[in-house]
Amino acid sequence: MKETAQAAEEKARAAGEAAASGLSKGPLLAFVGLLLGAGAASLGGRSGTPRLLLEENMTTR
């Protein structure tokens, strides 16, 4: 009986460690995705802005 409880505890600990490892990677990958999205939005906004508007802002500063 004691051996069965100990085996179940070890199995539960291993499952918990595996779940914690997977869950800790999620937020990190989400943050990297947000950074990549921000970079893509920046490049898209810059390429979508008319050149004349960009030149006017550069000369008035």
Give how many domains the chain has, as a whole number: 1
Integer Cα distance of 6 and 10 in angstroms: 6
- Please report the pLDDT score of residue 38 as a whole number: 97
Range of the domain at 50: 2-60
Q: Say what the pTM is.
A: 0.54
**Tens-digit pLDDT profile for residues 19-59:** 888 888 888 999 999 999 999 999 998 888 777 766 776 76
Count Cα atoms within 13 angstroms, Cβ side, for 8: 5
